Structure 1
Amino acid sequence: MKDSTLVSKSNALIEAEYTLSLVAQRVIVLAIIEARNQGDLIKAGGLLRIKATEYQQCFDCALPMAYESLRSACDNLYEADFSYWDKDEVGRDKFNKSRFVQKASYVKGGGYVEIMFGSEVIPLITRLSEKYTEYELSQIKDLNSVYALRLFELLMQWQSTGKTAPVLISDLRSKLGVEESHYKQMCDFKKRVLDSAVKEINDNTNIKVKYEQIKEGRKIIAFTFKFTVKKTPKKPVINARDPDTIDIFTGVTDKGVKAFKPMTIGQITFFASLIAKDPSFNSSENGLIAKVGESDKDYQMRVQRSLNDYENQVKWLDYLLKHNFKTE
């Protein structure tokens, strides 16, 4: 993929009700990235070309399978609709039904597909000044089920807290794309949908998630989800030094660093907002240099995404300590 591999969606689209295959959802993700990289073209409702080689590279599959995936995604996307809630001009709740694409083309022997997003979709992936969700493509590339991908996106709305609000069973089923006739029994829903999605996320992404049941009497009526960013495994140190040695960069002993637990989601959000405004951080090669023309909000979000990596938390520990972060 070219340039940024950041996926951005409005929360309305994240929470929309629809049923799509895994490959169709992957193609939408790639198209959103392509739209961002093309800039103004998407605003005019332009065609977005997704190559089989890009699909192969991103999702680690054989090229013939990538070709077939794109072809089947075209059929699925053109037939699929979705529904979502937003507000009218005076703030009243408005229920909308629309289609993902107004055109989907597969070129036989061309090794690519072209899609044109529907007019309702374009503002949901481009006008993201308010409620929206972002994540990197690398975070979902190894997810191989529809339910795991949908659940991961739902969780990413709550990155600042690491905990969701209670989600009613009916809402969760619709947001995960579980068809009405499937897994009606709670034991089947938990086993076939929820538990398998949670396990896949825990095994293949940068977060660790668990859920809690909310009951009314003996009946389960809702779920809440909690998640934390995983600690990145550190490479073994061959030449160890005195654990009480004070590091010249962080001012913390090795013993202190070893006791340094990964930051919580809330800490990452809070301290990202602080160090992003620190001139010694945003202009130093030891920190994260701001890009020319990058807005303060975009830069802060880039710092926040980088802090999800435990190695960066350790690397920037001196800046965190400067803003009263506690390692214990």
Structure 2
Amino acid sequence: EANFTQYLLEQVSDFKSKYSIRLYELLIKYRDVGNSKKFEIVELRSKLGLEDNEYKLNAVFKRDVLDKAIKEIGNKTDIQIKYEQFKEGRVISHILFKIGKKKDKKSKVGKDMNTIDMFADMTIKQALMFGDKLSRDTAFQNHYKANVGESVEDYSERIATMLMDGFYVKEWIQYLENVGFVPTRLSE
């Protein structure tokens, strides 16, 4: 615990924006998973410490709070953050964050170009779709059970979050192929 706290303090000590610190603290627990949960805009604003009268317009909120915080986090820490917006009608209602460790500039020399690429990034929408399909698949349910008291939506979202990690794509490939997933081959 002491090392984790020290690491966290080292990461946020250079931040200029209070929103960067709050967003970092909110999202760092999802670093190893790859995705956050879907945050309602109202919930996210509250967790960032915004009052109802601050940054009322979503465009201003995104520009002055989210985008600046994400840029500062990307520049000063070992993680990168992207986000996807979800709408209800014309209004943005939810935001899902994708968190990843900064990649080392390593060469791809030595990879077999005919090997199925199990670690190709699934888009968030693909992960959500296949998470939903797997959560309804009986064979998969027998292999990977929902937690006690977990709703179908939460179970599906948890599976989708795990699918952002190539390990689980490889682990669950037989179930994924049964629900329509087609692995891609590396292109030259």
Shorter-chain TM-score range? 0.5 to 0.7
Q: 1:218 matched to which residue of 2?
A: 90
Contact 2:38-2:96 at 8 Å conserved across structures: yes
SS in structure 2 at match of 1:136: helix
Does 1:256 find its partner at 2:110?
yes
TM-score, normalised by the number of residues in structure 1: 0.32
Which structure shows the higher helix fraction? 2
Q: Is the 8 A contact 2:30 2:99 kept in 1?
A: no
Per-residue Cα deviation, 1:114-164 (whole angstroms, up to 9, x for no partner): xxxxxxxxxxxxxxxxxxxxx533222222111011111111121231101
Deviating beyond 4 angstroms after TM superposition, the runs of 4 or more aligned structure 1 residues are none
Give the counterpart of 1:139 among 2, 5, 11. 11
Q: What residue in structure 2 maps to residue 176 of structure 1?
A: 48
- How far did residue 5 of structure 1 move? 4.8
Is there any run of 5+ residues in structure 2 with no aligned partner, and where? 114-118, 121-185
Give the 3-state SS of the residue equivalent to 2:36 in structure 1: coil
Counting strand residues as a fraction of each chain, which structure ranks higher? 1
State the TM-score, normalized to the length of structure 2.
Answer: 0.53
1:146-161 residue pairs with structure 2 within 5 A? 146-161=18-33
Give 3-state SS (helix, strand or coil) of 2:46's partner.
helix
SS of residue matched to 2:99: strand
Query: 1:205, 1:170 → 2: CA distance?
Result: 26
**How far apart, in 1, do the equivalents of 2:63 and 2:52 lie?**
17
The equivalent position to 1:204 in structure 2, one of 65, 72, 76, is: 76
AA aligned opposite 2:98: K
| Structure 1 letter corresponding to 2:59 | C
Q: Which amino acid aligns with 2:95?
A: F
Between the two structures, name the one with larger relative contact order (CA 8 Å, sep ≥ 6): 2
Pair 1:186 & 2:186 matched:
no
Q: Partners of 1:176 and 1:136 in 2: how far apart?
A: 17
CA RMSD of aligned residues (A): 2.9
Match of 1:6 in 2: 4
Residues 255 and 186 of structure 1, relative CA distance in 2, 3 Å threshold: closer
Per-residue deviation, residues 22-59 of structure 1 (Å, max 9, x unmatched): xxxxxxxxxxx6xxxxxxxxxxxxxxxxxxxxxxxxxx
Separation in 1 of the partners of 2:34 and 2:22? 17
Shift of 1:233: 5.5
Measured in 2, the distance between the counterparts of 1:139 and 1:176 equals: 18
Q: Which amino acid aligns with 2:4?
A: L
Is 1:229 aligned with 2:83?
A: no
When residues 5 and 141 of structure 1 are mapped into structure 2, their CA distance, relative to the original with a 3 A threshold, is farther
* Structure of greater Rg: 1
SS of aligned partner of 2:83: strand
